[in-house]
Structure 1
Amino acid sequence: MLLALLVLILAMGGVMALQKAFVPKFGLDLAGGTTVTLSPVTEAGAAPSQESLDLAVNILRDRVNGTGISDAEVAKSGDNIVISVPGAGQKEVVGRLGTTAELRFRQVLAVAPAVIAPSPLPTTPATPAPSGTGTPKPGASGQPSSTAKPAATAKPATSATPAGRALSSALTAPTPAPSTSASGSGKADKSAKATPAPSASAPSGQPTAQPSDDPMAGVDLTGVDPAVAEQFKKIDCTKKDRGQGVQDNPDKQLAACSKDGDARYILEKAAVKGTEVSGATSGVDSTTGEWIVQVTFKSKGASEFAKTTGQITSAPQPRNQLAMVLDGLVISAPVIEEPIPGGQARISGSFTQKSATDLANQLKYGALPLKFKQSSIEEVSGTLGADQLRGGLLAGAIGLVLVVLYCLLYYRGLGLVAVASLVVATILTYSTVVILGHNANFRLSLPHIIGLIVSIGITADSFIVYFERMRDEMKEGRRSLRVAVEVAWARARRTILIADAVMFIAAVVLYFLAVGGVAGFAFAMGLTTLIDIAVVFLFTKPFVALLAKLPFFAKGHKLSGLDAERMSREAPAARTTVPQEG
C-alpha cells in the first residue's frame, strides 16, 4: 500500500512537471477577472419575461461553469444578466456567452461564392473539336469534354463528392465549408469532403462563357421565397460578423453565410431544431486523427433527421446537402449519400481541440431564449480577496498546529503517525488542486479554502477512530500490538467508511442544490473526503503496521503512547459480581 501511494504521488508530481503547473489557479475573489453585463434585445424594446431571464441565467451558468468548479458567477441584475469570469484574458470566452447557440439542420437550396468575381476580358474562342457535337460529355474527372483546359477538377469518390456540380457553367462553386460526415447506428461513416467544382469551358466551337455579375445567374430558385432570394443576392459574407448571433426563424427559409465567409447559401425551413439535440461530445476520430463533434438527437429529432436525410439523398446538387446552422452561420453543409437512422450525427473538419470542445459545450448546454447584447465589460481586482486569503491561510495554519499539538501530547509517539498522515494528505490535496486547475479550470476561491480547512478535522477524526480502537484492544494486556493493529483496523475501517460516506453524500447533495460559493465549499469538502479515505487506507494503516514491528512501539516505551502503565490507567474498572441471596 505504501508503495502504491508513493507511485501515486510521483505520478501526480510528474504530471505537474510535464504541464509546468506548480501553482493552483485562483478564483474571482482572489485573482480578479472579467465582469460582463448582457442586456436582452427584444422586439419593440419590450421588457423580457422573468421566466425567459431565469432560463437564460441557468443556461449561461452551465455554459460558463459547466463543471461547477471554475468559480464563475452568473446573476440577474434587473433585466440584465451579469457574468463574472475569474482570471485574466477571459474576454473572448465571455464574449461568446450571449450568442443563441441554436443549431438548425436545413436543406441547402442554393449556394454561391461569397464575393462576385469581376468579369474577365474576352478570350479567344476555343478550337473546334473533331466531334463538333456541341454537347458536353462528362469524363472520368466529372468535366465537360472540351479542348480548353479546365480551371479545376472534381474527382468523385466514396468520400469526396463534387460541390456545385448542378450549378450553371457561369457559376463557380465556392470553397466548401469544413467537411462533415454523419453516421447512423451501425453504418459506416460517409464523409462529405467537397472539392471546388470546375469552371466549365464552352462546348467545342462556341465562345468561352463569361461569369455573370449576377450571383443568381444559373441558380435554381424553384420553391425559394423571393424575399430570401433578394437577401441572398445582397448578403455580404466578407464582413467579420457575417450575421453571427442571428436568431433565425426555423419556420422560414434563410439566406446565410458560411462560418469561414467563403460561401453564401439559401436554406430551406429547419428540418430539425436544436431543441431536439439531447447531447454533444467532442473527441478524436480513431481513423483520421481529426477532432470531431458527435451530436445525439432525442427520439422525435432522430426520426425527423432520418426522414430528412432520406428525402434529400436523391435530390440534385446542391439540394442533396444538409446544412448545419449555428447562430445564423453555416458551420458545415455535407452531401447526404444515404438515409441516416439511429439519431446520431458527426461534425468534422478543421476543428482544433478547443473549437471542438467549445462547439460541443454550446450545443450540449442549449439555446438561449433571448438574444443579448454586451452593454459593459470591466476588469475586477482581486486585492480584497488576497487579504482574505492571507487571513484564511493563517486560520488554517493555526488549526493545523493545534491538531498536531493535541496528537503529540495525547498520543505521544503514535501522534507522529497522525502528523505524517496530515502531511501526506496535504501533498495529495495540493497536487490535486493544481492538476484540476490546469486541466479542468478548477479555481481556488475562499469557499474552497474554507472547505479544505474544515477537512483537517475530518482527517483527524479518522485517525482518532483507528487509534482508539487499537488502544482498546491493548488495554489490560489482552492483545499484542501487532495483533491489535489488525483487529482494530477490521473494526475501525467500517466506522471510518460510514462517516466519510455520510460526509461525501452531504457534499454531493449540497453541490448539486447550491450555486456559487456554497457549491465551491461542497466540492472542496467532497474532494478532501475522498483524499481522507485514500490516506487512511494507503498510508495510515500500513504505516502503523510497519511501526508495530519496532521495539519502541511493540514493547510499549513510555513515549510511544502505548506503554502498559498508560493502557492500564485508561482501562475500565473491573466489574465485581455480588452474589445474590437465595
Structure 2
Amino acid sequence: MAAPKKGRSASAHSRPGRSLVLILIAMVALTGGMFLAGHTTPRLGIDLAGGTSITLRAEAEPGQESAINKTNMDTAVDIMERRVNGLGVSEAEVQTQGDKNIIVNIPKGTNSKEARDQVGTTAKLYFRPVIATEVSGAAATTSPSPSASGSATDKATDKATDKASSSSSPSASSTPSATSTTQGRAVTDALKADPTPSDSASSSASPSASASPSGSADTSKLEAQYAALDCTDETARAKAGDGAKPEDTTVACGQNADGQWQKYILGPAEVDGTEVDSAEASFNTQTAAGWTVNMKFTGEGRKKFGDITGKLAQNQPPQNQFAIVLDNEVVSDPRVSEALTAGTAEISGNFDQESAQSLANMLSYGALPLSFSEDSVTTVTAALGGEQLRAGLIAGAIGLALVVIYLVVYYRGLALIAVASLLVSAALTYVIMSLLGPAIGFALNLPAVCGAIVAIGITADSFIVYFERVRDEIREGRTLRPAVERAWPRARRTILVSDFVSFLAAAVLFVVTVGKVQGFAFTLGLTTVLDVVVVFLFTKPLLTILARRKFFASGHPWSGLDPKRLGAQPPLRRTRRPSAPIETKEA
C-alpha cells in the first residue's frame, strides 16, 4: 500500500501547470500595468535620449579663495546629486571638471527646468524673521493679503508635541490699513518699533532695531527699495537683496499660495541652512493638515531656532513669521505660535506632494559650502548614443543568434525550451524596465543595455546546466520522466549558487560605483533575479510537461535526448546482490 501512496504524493508535488499559469498571470498583470501607466517603452538615459548639460563654476567669498578646495567641491557634488535624486531624476551625472567646475548632466524626459533651478542655485539658505510683507505688482492695488503662505494657513508646530498653530492665524482685526505697506503697520513703524536685541544672532529679539538698517538714511533707503520693488518683474526679483549679508536687513520676493508674488522686508538671518540636519515631506493622516514638511535641527541649530521662535511667537502678524530664504527668494514663510525647542518642527499649509517634496529638498540640501554660477547650459543630442546603441543591439542580436544556433545543433528539440525561456525572460525584462522608469526614475543607458546583453549568457548557462543534468541521468540508463525529476535538485543547487555569485557581484558594483556603471550593475542584478524566476516557474515546468510527450519520452533522434546518441547504459533493473565468492579450501 505504501508504493501507490508514494506515487500519489509525487504526482501531487509535481504540478507544472500551476507554475506556468502563475508566470503567465504575472506577465499579463505587468503588461497591463505598463499600458495603464502609459509608459510602454523604457525611459532612456542622457546618452540615448539626450538632455541638458549644465556647467557650474565655483566662486568664493572675497578673502576666502581657499574655500575652493577638493573637500568642498566633493561635498557640493554630493549635495547636488542628492538634490536631483530628490526630484526623482535618475541617471543624472554630477562630476567635477578641473579645480573649479562641476558638470551636471540631466537626461531628457525629466523636469530639467526645476532640476536646473535647484542645482544651479548658489544655495545660501537662511531663516530670517519677517518685518513687513505685501502682495507685489498689479495685485498690490487691492487690499494687501496675508503673508505668502500665511493665506495658506502655513504654520510651524513642535513635532514633539504635535500641536497645531492654527490659532495664531491673523484675525479679521489684523487686516491692513489703507496704506499698502505692511499688514497693519507702516514700513517705518515696522522697522523701528521693536526693542534692541543683544549682539548674538541666536539670542536677538524678533525683528528689531538690529533687524533694521542703522541710521535713518539706511532706513529710508530700504523703504525706497521696498516701495519700488516689483516682484512680478523677473529682473527685479533677481536683483532683490543683491549683495545683502546674513547680518543685514534686506528685501526679497516669494510666491504665496495663490501664485501671486509677494515682497518682503526681512531681518538678519537667525538660523543658517547648514544647521538643518534633515527634512522630509510626509502625509499627515492624524490631522487635516495633509502634506507637511518635517525638519530636524543640529544641536546648535536647535538652540537658535528655539530662541527665535520663542520671540516671534510674542509678535503680531506678520512679525510672528519667519521666512525660509534660498538665495534671497522666500520659499516659505510659516507663522509661529510658540517656542519650538525640541529640535524638530513641522511646516504645514496648502502643500501638495510635489511642493512639499520640493521644500524638503531645499531644506535638506540647501546649504552648499560654495557659491556657483552657471558658465553654460547646453542641450545634448542622442546622435552618438543612438549610433552606439544600434551597434550594441546588432552585436547583441549576432550573439543571440549564435547562441540559438548552438542550442539547435547541440540540443535539438531542447532548444525550443531554451528559446522560449529566453523570450519569456526578455519580455519580463522589457516590461519591468518600462514600469521602473516612472516608478523609481530608472533610465536605460548604454551600460544598462550591455548588462542586458550579458544576461543572455547567464540565462543560457542555467538552461545548459539543467539539460546536462537530465542527459547525465539518461546516460545512466533512466527513462526521461524520472531523469527530469532526479536531475532537478542537483541542477537547482548549481543554478542558485551561480546566480547568487552574479547577483552579489552586481550588488557590490552598484554600491561602490556611480553614474552609468550603476545602470550596468542594476540591469545585471535585475536580469539575474529574473533568470531564477524563469528557470523555476517556466523552464523546469515546461520540460516536465514535454517529458510526457511521445516525441521526447521515446528519445526521438531530434529531441536531443536520444539514449543511443548519448551513449546510455542498459536500463537500470533491480537485481539481487550477488553473494560473495567462496574460496576453495585446500585439502
Q: TM-score, normalised by structure 1?
A: 0.76
Q: Deviations over 1:48-81 (max 9, x none)?
A: 3333223222322333356784253533245222
- Among residues 39, 46, 63, which one is paired with 1:21 in the alignment? 39
Q: Deviations over 1:448-489 (max 9, x none)?
A: 1111111111111122222223333343224x5444434433
Rate the CA distance shift 1:37–1:201 in 2: closer, same or farther, 3 A.
closer
Asked whether the equivalents of residues 281 and 295 of structure 1 are also in contact (C-alpha less than 8 Å), the reply is: no
Rate the CA distance shift 1:296–1:484 in 2: closer, same or farther, 3 A.
farther
Query: In 2, distance between residues paired with 1:118 and 1:259?
Result: 12
Asked whether the equivalents of residues 60 and 74 of structure 1 are also in contact (C-alpha less than 8 Å), the reply is: no
- Among residues 25, 48, 61, which one is paired with 1:7 in the alignment? 25
Partner of 1:217: 189
Asked whether the equivalents of residues 552 and 560 of structure 1 are also in contact (C-alpha less than 8 Å), the reply is: yes
SS at 2:76 equivalent? helix
Specify the code of the residue in structure 2 equivalent to 1:222. Answer: P
Rate the CA distance shift 1:537–1:105 in 2: closer, same or farther, 3 A.
farther
Partner of 2:10: none
* 1:49 equivalent in alignment to 2:69: yes
Query: In 1, distance between residues paired with 2:423 and 2:300?
Result: 55
Query: In 2, distance between residues paired with 1:439 and 1:187?
Result: 35
Query: In 2, distance between residues paired with 1:563 and 1:289?
Result: 72
Q: Deviations over 1:411-454 (max 9, x none)?
A: 22222221111101110111122222233333222111111111
Specify the code of the residue in structure 2 equivalent to 1:535. Answer: V
Gaps of 5+ in 2: 1-18, 197-207, 571-580
Query: In 2, distance between residues paired with 1:415 and 1:12?
Result: 27
Q: CA deviation at 1:569?
A: 4.5
Asked whether the equivalents of residues 130 and 267 of structure 2 are also in contact (C-alpha less than 8 Å), the reply is: yes
Q: Deviations over 1:227-271 (max 9, x none)?
A: 288375324362433568979766666654434432414345424
Query: In 1, distance between residues paired with 2:27 and 2:121?
Result: 43
Q: How many residues align?
A: 524
More moved, 178-187 vs 523-532: 178-187
Partner of 1:559: 558
Rate the CA distance shift 1:417–1:303 in 2: closer, same or farther, 3 A.
farther
Partner of 2:270: 270
Query: In 2, distance between residues paired with 1:517 and 1:465?
Result: 32
CA RMSD of aligned residues (A): 4.2
Rate the CA distance shift 1:37–1:211 in 2: closer, same or farther, 3 A.
closer
Q: CA deviation at 1:288?
A: 4.2
Asked whether the equivalents of residues 176 and 195 of structure 1 are also in contact (C-alpha less than 8 Å), the reply is: no
Rate the CA distance shift 1:57–1:242 in 2: closer, same or farther, 3 A.
same
- Among residues 78, 82, 89, which one is paired with 1:58 in the alignment? 78
Query: In 2, distance between residues paired with 1:210 and 1:305?
Result: 32
Partner of 1:85: 106
Partner of 2:549: 550
Query: In 2, distance between residues paired with 1:245 and 1:19?
Result: 45
More moved, 522-531 vs 210-219: 210-219
Query: In 2, distance between residues paired with 1:118 and 1:365?
Result: 33
Specify the code of the residue in structure 2 equivalent to 1:438. Answer: P
Asked whether the equivalents of residues 148 and 254 of structure 2 are also in contact (C-alpha less than 8 Å), the reply is: no
Rate the CA distance shift 1:90–1:320 in 2: closer, same or farther, 3 A.
closer
Query: In 1, distance between residues paired with 2:241 and 2:552?
Result: 71
Partner of 2:577: none
Q: Deviations over 1:25-62 (max 9, x none)?
A: 32222222222221223334957333322322232233
Rate the CA distance shift 1:326–1:348 in 2: closer, same or farther, 3 A.
farther
More moved, 488-497 vs 371-380: 488-497
* 1:180 equivalent in alignment to 2:180: no
Query: In 2, distance between residues paired with 1:496 and 1:5?
Result: 19
Structure with greater proportional helix content = 2
Q: Deviations over 1:285-321 (max 9, x none)?
A: 5754844333344566556656655565455554543
Partner of 2:332: 332
Rate the CA distance shift 1:351–1:76 in 2: closer, same or farther, 3 A.
farther
Asked whether the equivalents of residues 50 and 381 of structure 2 are also in contact (C-alpha less than 8 Å), the reply is: yes
Rate the CA distance shift 1:93–1:201 in 2: closer, same or farther, 3 A.
closer
Asked whether the equivalents of residues 69 and 523 of structure 1 are also in contact (C-alpha less than 8 Å), the reply is: no
Rate the CA distance shift 1:482–1:325 in 2: closer, same or farther, 3 A.
farther
Query: In 1, distance between residues paired with 2:241 and 2:545?
Result: 65
* 1:536 equivalent in alignment to 2:535: yes
Q: CA deviation at 1:522?
A: 1.6
SS at 1:293 equivalent? strand
Rate the CA distance shift 1:195–1:278 in 2: closer, same or farther, 3 A.
closer
Q: Deviations over 1:106-141 (max 9, x none)?
A: 4x3523325599999xxxxxxxxxxxxxxxxxxxxx
Specify the code of the residue in structure 2 equivalent to 1:294. Answer: N
SS at 2:476 equivalent? helix
Asked whether the equivalents of residues 251 and 266 of structure 2 are also in contact (C-alpha less than 8 Å), the reply is: yes
Partner of 2:118: 96
Partner of 2:419: 419
What is the correspondence of 1:448-459 to structure 2 with a 5 Å cutoff?
448-459=448-459
Q: TM-score, normalised by structure 2?
A: 0.76
What is the correspondence of 1:421-570 to structure 2 with a 5 Å cutoff?
421-478=421-478, 480-569=479-568
Asked whether the equivalents of residues 133 and 181 of structure 2 are also in contact (C-alpha less than 8 Å), the reply is: no
SS at 2:213 equivalent? helix
Query: In 1, distance between residues paired with 2:253 and 2:534?
Result: 57
SS at 1:443 equivalent? coil
Q: CA deviation at 1:198?
A: 4.3
- Among residues 130, 134, 137, which one is paired with 1:113 in the alignment? 134
Query: In 2, distance between residues paired with 1:68 and 1:256?
Result: 29
What is the correspondence of 1:271-290 to structure 2 with a 5 Å cutoff?
271=271, 273-283=273-283, 288=288, 290=290
Asked whether the equivalents of residues 33 and 381 of structure 1 are also in contact (C-alpha less than 8 Å), the reply is: yes
Q: CA deviation at 1:191?
A: 5.0
What is the correspondence of 1:400-411 to structure 2 with a 5 Å cutoff?
400-411=400-411
- Among residues 46, 50, 56, which one is paired with 1:38 in the alignment? 56
More moved, 497-506 vs 468-477: 468-477
Query: In 1, distance between residues paired with 2:466 and 2:483?
Result: 11
Query: In 2, distance between residues paired with 1:415 and 1:118?
Result: 74
Identity of aligned residues (%): 40
Rate the CA distance shift 1:514–1:68 in 2: closer, same or farther, 3 A.
farther
What is the correspondence of 1:306-317 to structure 2 with a 5 Å cutoff?
309=309, 312-314=312-314, 316-317=316-317
Query: In 2, distance between residues paired with 1:329 and 1:71?
Result: 26
Query: In 1, distance between residues paired with 2:317 and 2:305?
Result: 19
Q: CA deviation at 1:279?
A: 4.4
Query: In 2, distance between residues paired with 1:404 and 1:394?
Result: 15
Query: In 2, distance between residues paired with 1:473 and 1:54?
Result: 59
Rate the CA distance shift 1:43–1:507 in 2: closer, same or farther, 3 A.
same
Query: In 1, distance between residues paired with 2:481 and 2:340?
Result: 67
More moved, 8-17 vs 48-57: 48-57
Rate the CA distance shift 1:389–1:467 in 2: closer, same or farther, 3 A.
same
Rate the CA distance shift 1:508–1:319 in 2: closer, same or farther, 3 A.
same
Rate the CA distance shift 1:201–1:82 in 2: closer, same or farther, 3 A.
closer
Q: CA deviation at 1:282?
A: 4.9
